[in-house]
Amino acid sequence: MKTGRWLQNYPHFLERVYQLTEWLFKRLDPAIRRIGYGRIDRWIHVPEAWAKRAVFGCKMCGQCILHSTGMTCPMNCPKNLRNGPCGGVRPNGHCEVIPEMRCVWVEAYERSLRMPIYGQELLELQPPVNRRLEDSSAWINLLTGMDKRVPAGWAGMSYIPLVPKEMGGWGDE
């Protein structure tokens, strides 16, 4: 896990790896569809879980939003918040539930500022997590679009107001 944390502190490298992997999966989509999404899921979800657990402490939610959350897994938040932080962040940036742990969302924010490709996606409002996708491959769910399905009545992914540059944010484009 130490190596994972070290790697997470190079979020630009990780977002490039994500970009390349997404490109690869999309190129392979026609072949994957022919073989069967379910079958490929059974083959890849174990190595996917292993690799993402080692680096990100992944909980295999099946709807990976790492690249939108500063390459920091939101499921490590004890409240499983997909939009954070909550109001309980301590003045030292630590979690109110696990005081010895830094808030996942403080780390997500800090890292997203060093992500020129996907950093601004931290401002996207994420839909509630779909627990039925747990333990399935997020890559396959991305290809099938299952990871984007939202509950009836959900207004869609909208942006929250931008953080001004002078406050260390991205500012208006």
The DSSP annotation for 101-159 comes to SBPHHHHHHHHHTT-TTTGGGGGBPPPPP-GGGTTS-HHHHHHHTGGG---TT-----B
- Residue 50 or residue 168: which is nearer to ligand SF4 going by CB? 50
CA distance 172 to 164: 7
Query: x/- site string to ligand SF4, residues 85 to 124, per CB under 6 A?
Result: ----------------------------------------
User: How many C-beta atoms surround the C-beta of residue 107 within 10 A?
Assistant: 22
Nearest distance, CB of residue 34 and ligand SF4, angstroms: 25
Nearest distance, CB of residue 116 and ligand SF4, angstroms: 21
CA distance 154 to 135: 24
14 scored as a contact of ligand SF4 (CB under 6 A):
no
14, 32, 40, 61: which one contacts ligand SF4 (CB under 6 A)? 61
14, 32, 66, 108: which one contacts ligand SF4 (CB under 6 A)? 66
- Residue 59 or residue 114: which is nearer to ligand SF4 going by CB? 59
CA distance 173 to 1: 36
CA distances from 61 to 48, 133, 165 (A): 12, 6, 33
Nearest distance, CB of residue 166 and ligand SF4, angstroms: 31
58, 115, 142, 143: which one contacts ligand SF4 (CB under 6 A)? 58
59 scored as a contact of ligand SF4 (CB under 6 A):
yes
Rounded to the nearest 5°, which phi and psi values hold at 83? -130, 110
What does the binding site for ligand SF4 look like in residue numbers (CB under 6 A)? 52, 56, 58-61, 64-66, 73-75, 138
